[in-house]
Amino acid sequence: MIVLLPPSEGKTAPRRGKSLDLGGLTLPGLTPAREQVLDALVGLCERDPVEAARVLDVPKTQLGLVDLNARLRSAPTARADQVYSGVLYDALSPATLSAAARRRATTRLLVASSLFGMVGPADRIPAYRLSGDAVLPGLGGVAAHWRAALGPALEEHLGDRLLVDLRSTTYAAFWRPPAALARHVATVRVLHETNGKRQVVSHFNKATKGRLVRTLLESGANPRSPGRLAEALRDLDWVVEVVDGPRGVVQLDVVVRDL
């Protein structure tokens, strides 16, 4: 099983640590594509900080983020699961996983990244500011760049394992599973049920997905099909319904009553 997570807008900047080594990241075949994004982002932020703030939608009160990007090649790095923060990662709480669950996380989790395409939890990265819908001078749209680069590396890494795709819409646009992989892919939608009525949630969607992944990692469950994933989650006391999703992908509706 491989689980794809979205990144977080907020990041915890490492205070110390060795500098970035692109070749040491998960999916090393993406190194040339990563170099292109890094060159475009660092070049923009070094050359024209004012324009960089506009392109990156950086508020005037956070212009330090532009300088952060300008220093990405020499900035200290830390594990990706320590750099990414926010609701989903708070709920997943990687630092408090058991030793066995942490080992599983290292081999089963990937995080979508505007800068790196995909990273593993143990990959050492710096904090950065780059949204998935950004358009960089000399590179173009970040999403389009990764659409052209991610497929071969990610599909080789996946093999015949189940892919649990928890990415948000922005990052789902970086790579869409081809039809041949559809039966190996499951997406998850979180529904909140109150008084017999269900609605899609947003903020709590992230928290629920974080808790769901944590539960799977701690349990050791390693399903190989969407149906088996639904069974594993039900065994772990989640309410799950299986429905047909778009493009032949199976969608799991996770129904929660308490947020």
Give the whole-angstrom CA distance, residue 155 versus residue 144.
Answer: 18
Give the whole-angstrom CA distance, residue 201 versus residue 246.
Answer: 20
- In this structure, the number of other CB atoms found within 10 A of the CB of residue 179 comes to 10
Tell me the residue range of the domain where 48 lies. 2-256
**Who contacts 173 (Cβ-Cβ below 8 Å, separation ≥6)?**
132, 143, 147
Give the whole-angstrom CA distance, residue 132 versus residue 47.
Answer: 22
The pLDDT value given to residue 197: 81
The pLDDT value given to residue 259: 62
How many folded domains does the chain comprise? 1
Give the whole-angstrom CA distance, residue 254 versus residue 230.
Answer: 9
The pLDDT value given to residue 140: 97
User: What does the buried/exposed string (b/e) look like for 27-52 if buried means 16 or more CB atoms within 10 Å of the residue's CB?
Assistant: beebbebbeebbebbbbbbeeebeeb
Which CA distances in Å does 150 have to 27, 32, 51, 141?
9, 11, 28, 14
Give the whole-angstrom CA distance, residue 126 versus residue 78.
Answer: 7
From first to last of its 259 residues, what are the pLDDT tens digits of the chain? 999 999 998 899 999 999 999 999 999 999 999 999 999 999 999 999 999 999 999 988 888 999 999 999 999 999 999 999 999 999 999 999 999 999 999 999 999 999 999 999 999 999 999 999 999 999 999 999 999 999 999 999 999 999 999 999 999 999 999 988 888 999 999 998 877 788 887 668 899 999 999 999 999 999 999 999 999 999 999 999 999 877 778 999 999 887 6
User: What does the buried/exposed string (b/e) look like for 197-230 if buried means 16 or more CB atoms within 10 Å of the residue's CB?
Assistant: eeeebeeebbbbbbbbbbbbbeeebebeebeebb
Helices (H) and strands (E) in the chain, counts: 10, 12
pTM of the model: 0.94
